[in-house]
Structures are given as structure tokens and as C-alpha cells.
Amino acid sequence: MTADRIFRLVYAPGVFSNIRIIDAQHYSLIKRTIEEQLRHEPNVETRNRKPLKRPIVLEAKWELRFGPGNCFRVFYAVDNIKTEVWILAIGVKKGEKLLFGEKEE
């Protein structure tokens, strides 16, 4: 894979309901980080971007961690053929709990 490939971001229908529990002041950070981290080389492991050992949410294969105290989680899958990144869930880690909208996983 070459660095000049730009991946299209595709959001799953329920993703935007996931962020209801997140303060609106963080929305621009979430959007900016997703675009910066996942448009280029989304399937390259970094310190905050890791492949999942087992799918947690909706067949997600990858997890991106960021934000204050690394509290935000974006779960996604990559389609290299279509050059798409499917954003499947956005969650918040609070202690040992991972929250999606009002739901705890």
C-alpha cells in the first residue's frame, strides 16, 4: 500500500447516536482525529491505532484511541479494495466501562 492513497470515510447509521454522551465541545476533536488518522494508512498499527484481537462491535477489526486521557474509542473496519474505512462505533472509556450512547459494552 502506498502513502498517497486516500481512504473514503463511511459512517455506519448508528454512529452518530453513539456520541450523545460526549460533550459537544469534543465533537470537532473527534471529527478532526478521525480524518487525520484514518484517511491515510488506516490499517497501519501505531501507538493509538491497533488491530483488535477479537471483534468487539459490529465486526470492527481496528480501534483508534485518542482524546483527554485516551478516553475516546473509534472502532472501524478497512476495505482496501474500495479504499474505504467503515466507522462502526464511537465510544467513551470511563474507568473499566466502554460506553456507546447510553449503552454499556
**CATH number of the domain within which 59 lies:** 3.30.2310.20
Which pairs from 95-99 meet CB under 8 Å and 24+ separation? 98/56, 98/73, 99/21
Q: What percent of the chain has pLDDT over 90?
A: 66
- Give the angle subtended at the CA of 45 by the CAs of 31 and 100, to the nearest 5°: 45
pTM of the model: 0.89
- How far apart are alpha carbons 81 and 60 in whole angstroms? 17
Q: Is residue 2 part of a domain?
A: no
Print the domain residue range for 88.
8-104
Cell, residue 69: 486521557
DSSP state of 7: P
Q: What is the mean pLDDT of residues 49-66?
A: 88
Mean pLDDT rounded to a whole number for the chain: 89
